[in-house]
Structure 1
Amino acid sequence: MRRIKRAPVEIFNLAFLDIISCAFGAVVLLVLLAKNGETDTQAGPNNLSVLLDQVLAAQLQVELLQGALSDKQQELAQAQARSAAVTEQLKALESSVPRAQQTLQQLQDKASSLRNEIRQATAMLNVPKSTDKPSTEVGGIPTDADYVVFVIDNSGSMVDGAKWNKVIAVVGDILSNHPQMKGFQIIAADGSFLYAGQEGQWLSDSSSMRQRALDRMRRFTGGGSAPEVGILRALDLYGKTQGKVSLYVFGDDYRRQNLDAIVTEITARNTDAKGDPRFRIHGIGFYRPQGGDAAQFAAFMQAVAKRNRGAFVGLAF
C-alpha cells in the first residue's frame, strides 16, 4: 500500500497571527481605557475648584455691577429731583414775568411823568436876549450862565425815598440846559461841599464830571435845613468870579423868623460896586406833605430871587 505524504503542520500561520493581533489590540485598548479613567478621576477635583473660583468671581462681578447700578439709580433720582426743582423755579419765574412787566411799565410811566414835570419846570429857562432880567410873568430862568452853584438841602425830608432821586434828576436837567457853562459846584444847605477840599474852586464842566457828581450826590446826605448858610458861603467864596454865575437853592422847609433880615443880608452880600447883583439866585421848592414849612421856604426864596434877578419854581411831589 502506497503511503500518502501529508503536508507539515504550521503552527504560526496567518490565522493564528490574526488571532494574536486581535488579542494584543484588545489588551492595548483596555490599558488605554483604564489609564483614561485614572486621569479623569485625578483631574476631577481640580476642575471643580476652577469652576468654583469662576462662579465666585462671577458672583463678585455681579455684586459690583449691582452696586454700580444702584449708584447710577441714585444719581438718576437726584438728577430727576433737581430737574423738578428747576422746573418749579422756571414756572415761578414765568409767573412773575407779568408782574415784573407791570411794575416796569409803572416805573416807566412814573419816569415819563417825572420828565414832564422837569420839562415844565425848566421850560421857562430862556428869556429874550434884549433884557438881562427874567420875565416875572412867566418865571423864566436864563441859561446863559458861565458858572452854576447849587445849594441843596440834604436833610432827612429831602433825601427820603424817591424824592432825592427827583432832586438829582432836576440838578441833571438844569446842568444839561446850560450849554455854555465852564464850571459848577454843589454845596449842602449847611455849607459843606459835595467834594471836600474843593471849596472856592470850580468843578470843570464835562459829561463825565457831571455824571460823577450826580452819582456822588446819592451819598451826599445828612445836612440841615439852613439855606442862608450855604448861600452866604457861596457868595463869599465865588463872589469875585469873572463871568455870569447862577445860584440855585433847593429846599422844602424853612423855619427862621427874621426873613427880612436874612434876605437883606444876602442881597447886600451879592451886590457889586455898581449896585447890581453878582449872582442870579433862583429857588427850586419841593412840596412836603407832612411836617415842615414848605410855604415859608417858598416865600423866603421868592423874596431872595426877586431882589437878585432870579426866579422861583415850585415842584409838586
Structure 2
Amino acid sequence: MKIRQKVAEPVSIAFLSVITCCFGAIILLLIITTSMDTENTEDPADPRIPKISLKQREIFSMQAASLGQLEELDKSLQTLEKLNLEKDAIAQKVQKASSQDRSVNDNNEERKVSIQKLLVAQQNLTDEMKRLYRELDQKETNLVGGIPIDSEYIIFIIDTSGSMFRYAWPKVIAQIEDTLRVYPKVKGVQIMNDMGVYMFPSFRSKWIPDSPARRRAINERLKTWNAFSNSSPAEGITEAIQTFNAEDKKISIYVYGDEFTGNSIRRVVDYVDKINHSDTPGENLVRIHAIGFPVQFAQPAQLQHTGIRFATLMRELTRKNGGTFVGLNAFR
C-alpha cells in the first residue's frame, strides 16, 4: 500500500485581494490626513494675516454697502416706475383736456358763427319788420274808409237824378271834396254823370289836369250841375272804362248813387268783366269803388227795391274789380 504525500495548497487569491485593499485604504487615509493638516496650519507670525483680515473686513463692508445701495436703487426704480405711470396718466389727462379745449374752442367758434348768423338774421328781421311796418303805414295811409287810394288817375261817376239832387246833393259834394282831399296830387281827373255825360264837355275823352284852381272849378260846377239821369250807373261805368283804360296807368272809378233802374244786374257785371280785363293775370284795368246813399230807404218798403238793386250791383262790381263798396248811414 502506497502512502500518498500531502501537498500544501497555495494562498487563496481572495484573501490576497482583501489584504491589498486594506493596505491601500490605510495609505489613502494617511495621505488625506496629512494634506488637511497642511492646509489648516497657519503661521501666527505671518505678517500678511492682519492685512488679509482688513481686506476681508473691507470687502464685507463693501458688500454690505452694495447691498444697501442695491436696495435703495431698487426702491428708486420702483419710485421711478410709479412716477412714469403717474406721468403717463397726467399726459393722458392733458391730452384729454386739450381735446376738450379744442372741442370747446371749436364749439366756441361754432357758437360765434351761430351768434353772428343770429345777429345777421336779427338785423334782416329788423329791416324786414321796418319795411313791413313802412308798407303797413303806407297801406293804412292809402286807405280812406276802407277804400285804397293808390291810383294816379280818378274818375267820378255821379248819379244826377232828381232823388239825389233834391235830397243828397250837399252830401255828394262833401264826399267828393273828401275824396279829392285824400288825393293831394293826381295826374288826371274826370267827372261824368251816371249816363256818361261829361261835366266839362271841352275835356270829353281827355284827362283834366289836376290843379288847385281846377278843383275849385269842379266844386263850383257841382253845386248847380243837374244833367239828365236815368238812375243807372251802368252807362257811365262802361263809358269810363272803354275811354280811359290803359295798362300803364293806375285808374280808379268812384261811383256815387242811390239806385239802379236797369234791367239786369248780371248783364252789367258780365259786360264790365269783359271790358275791364287786363293782360296781367288777376289784374283789372281800373278799380271800381262805390259810395251808396240811402235815399231810397227813406221811402216806404215797397219803393226801396231800386236802392237794394244798386247796393247789390255795386257790391258785385267792386268785389270783382279790386274796389270797395261803402254804404252810408245817412244821405244828409
TM bin (shorter chain): 0.5 to 0.7
Confirm or deny: 8 A CA contact 1:153 1:226 kept in the other structure.
yes
Match of 1:302 among 290, 296, 315: 315
* Higher relative helix content: 2
Confirm or deny: 8 A CA contact 2:257 2:291 kept in the other structure.
yes
Q: Give the aligned residue type for 1:195.
A: F
- Deviations 1:127-173 (Å, cap 9, x if unpaired)? 947989x99xx972111210100111001000004x20110110111
Confirm or deny: 8 A CA contact 1:250 1:284 kept in the other structure.
yes
**1:227 pairs with 2:227:** no
CA distance in 2, matches of 1:129, 1:182: 23
CA distance in 1, matches of 2:175, 2:213: 17
**1:274 pairs with 2:280:** yes
Q: Which residue of 1 aligns with 2:186?
A: 181
- Deviations 1:280-313 (Å, cap 9, x if unpaired)? 1001000111245212111100000000000000
Q: CA deviation at 1:205?
A: 0.9
Q: Give the aligned residue type for 2:183.
A: H
Q: Which residue of 1 aligns with 2:216?
A: 211
Q: Give the aligned residue type for 1:173.
A: D
CA distance in 1, matches of 2:272, 2:319: 12
Confirm or deny: 8 A CA contact 1:189 1:226 kept in the other structure.
yes
CA distance in 2, matches of 1:151, 1:267: 18
Q: CA deviation at 1:239?
A: 0.8
1:128 to 1:200, Cα distance in 2 relative to 1, 3 A: farther
Q: Give the aligned residue type for 1:143.
A: I
Match of 1:240 among 239, 242, 246: 246
Q: Which residue of 2 aligns with 1:202?
A: 207
CA distance in 2, matches of 1:147, 1:194: 16
Confirm or deny: 8 A CA contact 2:158 2:192 kept in the other structure.
yes
Confirm or deny: 8 A CA contact 2:247 2:278 kept in the other structure.
no
Q: CA deviation at 1:241?
A: 6.5
Q: CA deviation at 1:197?
A: 2.8
1:241 to 1:304, Cα distance in 2 relative to 1, 3 A: same
**1:156 pairs with 2:169:** no
- Deviations 1:14-53 (Å, cap 9, x if unpaired)? xxxxxxxxxxxxxxxxxxxxxxxxxxxxxxxxxxxxxxxx
TM-score by length of 2: 0.53
TM-score by length of 1: 0.55
SS in 1 for 2:201: coil
1:224 to 1:129, Cα distance in 2 relative to 1, 3 A: farther
CA distance in 1, matches of 2:280, 2:247: 16
Q: Alignment RMSD, CA only?
A: 2.4
Structure possessing the higher radius of gyration over alpha carbons: 2
Worse-matched range after superposition: 303-312 or 174-183: 174-183
Matched-pair identity in %? 34
Match of 1:193 among 181, 190, 198: 198
CA distance in 1, matches of 2:189, 2:173: 15
Q: CA deviation at 1:272?
A: 1.2
SS in 1 for 2:151: coil
- Name the count of aligned residue pairs: 187
CA distance in 1, matches of 2:145, 2:321: 13
**1:286 pairs with 2:299:** no
1:310 to 1:129, Cα distance in 2 relative to 1, 3 A: farther
Point out where structure 2 has 5 or more consecutive residues left out of the alignment: 1-134
